[in-house]
């Protein structure tokens, strides 16, 4: 039997993914391929970090993620 779903564990995994993207080395590519790799890494980091900052709740079997995009002002 599978373990029950824990939303916080999922959020923690996204935090690990964001950290992994930060540590990722740029492969030995040049030109357009290099720019595309860097662009994709930036998008991956942003997306993973956003989920890692979310709060999660299960409401009637629906996963609800709340992400505050208002900034720190």
Q: Read off the pLDDT of residues 37-49 as tens digits, 9 standing for 90 and up.
A: 999 999 999 999 9
Between strands 62-66 and 55-59, the pairing is antiparallel
Query: How many CB atoms sit inside 10 A of residue 53's CB?
Result: 16
Number of structural domains found in the chain:
1
52 has a pLDDT exceeding 70: yes
**Does residue 31 lie within any of the structural domains?**
yes
**Does residue 38 lie within any of the structural domains?**
yes
What range defines the domain where residue 27 resides? Answer: 7-66
73 has a pLDDT exceeding 70: no
More reliable by pLDDT, 2 or 10 = 10
**Does residue 71 lie within any of the structural domains?**
no
Mean pLDDT of 64-71: 90
**Does residue 72 lie within any of the structural domains?**
no
**Does residue 2 lie within any of the structural domains?**
no
**Does residue 22 lie within any of the structural domains?**
yes
Q: What dihedral do alpha carbons 64, 15, 49, 63 form, nearest 10°?
A: -10
């Amino acid at each position: 039997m599978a373990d029950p779903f824990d939303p916080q564990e999922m959020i923690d995994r996204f935090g690990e993914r964001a950290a992994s993207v930060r540590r990722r080395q740029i492969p030995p590519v040049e030109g357009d391929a290099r720019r595309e790799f860097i662009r994709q890494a930036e998008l991956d980091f942003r997306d993973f970090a956003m989920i890692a900052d979310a709060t999660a709740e299960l409401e009637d079997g629906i996963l609800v993620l709340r992400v505050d995009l208002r900034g720190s002002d």
